[in-house]
Amino acid sequence: MFVKPMAAVGMALLMGTGPAATQQLATRHLPPRVATAAADLNLLDLNTATRDQLTRFKGIGLMYADKILRGRPYHAPSELVSRRIMPLSLWLHIRHRLVATPTPAPETPPWVEPDLGRLDVNHASSDELRRFKGIGQMWADKIIRGRPYKAAIELVGRRIMPLSAYERIQGGIFAKPD
């Protein structure tokens, strides 16, 4: 029973499908015992490895471990080079042992448009408004006091904020009437 799934992992390596396919086989389609066996192949997942695992991995060390942690999440191991986290010469030596498993997409709150990432000024909380670049505590309080809005441009028409400030944030906000 254990030999057949391990053969699938071995075949993925031999067929040249690469470590990403091997990791995918080991984590999605195989029993937990086999996933552990795939970990024994010395594959390192860039999205889930701890700092200690990264520093112990031959070729990464402290300097690159911290850069890798700061650059998360990764969609492919080649992003280490394209984002200038490590040089190509080093990446070529360790690329066959690196994988980047997909990370689940964060759940977007209903007041954020999922496709555009824009913030709804009618439903966002004070904290969310303040975290939005270009809106401080003062404007967040004014926006909340002036609700509801039929359109985001009403922030200027009602003198909540000046036109110059609105023009800087207009691409990131919208007003969805109730």
Angle between helices 32-39 and 3-14 (to 10 degrees): 40
For 11, the token pair is 């075949």
Number of domains in the chain: 2
The pTM (predicted TM-score) of the whole model is 0.41
Q: What is the DSSP string of 47-110?
A: TT--HHHHHHSTTTHHHHHHHHHHT---SSTTHHHHTTSS-HHHHHHHGGGEE-PPPPPPPPPT
Residues 75 and 127 in one domain: no
The per-residue pLDDT string of the chain (178 residues; one tens digit each, 9 = 90 and over) reads 444 445 544 544 444 444 444 444 444 444 454 445 445 567 889 988 999 999 999 889 888 998 999 888 888 899 999 989 999 999 899 989 999 888 776 665 655 555 467 888 999 999 989 888 888 899 999 999 999 999 999 999 999 999 999 998 888 888 887 7
- Answer yes or no: is 81 within a domain: yes
Residues 82 and 126 in one domain: no
User: Are 22 and 96 spatial neighbours (Cβ–Cβ below 8 Å)?
Assistant: no
- Answer yes or no: is 137 within a domain: yes
* Residue 161, SS3 per DSSP: coil
- Answer yes or no: is 112 within a domain: no
Amino acid 14: pLDDT = 45
